[in-house]
Amino acid sequence: MSDATEVPVPDDAPGPEPELLHGAPMSTSRGQAVVHPDREAYLAVVKALRDEGFDLCADVCGADYLSHPGRPLPEGVVPERFEVVVNLVNRRERRRIRVRVQVPATDARVASLFDLYPGSEAMEREAFDMFGIEFTDHPDLTRILMPEDWEGHPLRKDYSVGRIPVQFKAAAATR
């Protein structure tokens, strides 16, 4: 047991079918509860979670699984290139939950959580800036970290880190 928060996990052990929470498959990852709605159900699931008591949106971020497509996902969840990951906190019951929604590369759009959690505005802008994921109904979806006229989305796996060769005498880059 490492020195981190322990999230109460539902008592029924994961059987052949994944457990459903508000209609979306659930899984656990190192003891933390994760919900995997699909894009259409995403907003409804997050709204249901908020009504359940998860009133603090800790984090909204993106992830690009271009070079790791074979990640473990519960049955019934179709892996796509991008993921939007939302971490919510229930202050009354003192627990966290994570929502992971798959976003395809060809149609990288997902609903915005701004109307539910105004605090997700800057986080979604960052996900847009870094990955190119568009959030529909977002009030101001512009770049937030890179200059306005930057081309490309830096955190994508096919965007190089941009290292310049360092002028040492003989050494090539070791990493």
Of the pair 76, 91, the CB lying nearest another protein is at 91
- Give CA–CA dist 106/32, Å, rounded: 30
**By CB under 8 A, residue 87 contacts another protein:** yes
Closest CA to 34 of 117, 120, 106, 96: 96
Closest CA to 135 of 113, 104, 157: 113
Q: By CB under 8 A, which span of 11-19, 36-44, 103-111, 139-147 interacts with another protein?
A: 139-147
Pairing, β 109-111 against β 56-64: unpaired
- Give CA–CA dist 110/124, Å, rounded: 10
**By CB under 8 A, residue 107 contacts another protein:** no
Applying CB under 8 A, among 13, 147, 168, 171 the residue interacting with another protein is 147
Binding residues (CB under 8 A) for another protein: these are 1-5, 29-30, 32, 34, 50-51, 55-59, 61, 63-64, 67-68, 71-72, 85, 87, 91, 94-96, 98, 114-123, 126, 130, 136-150, 154-155, 159-164, 166, 174-175
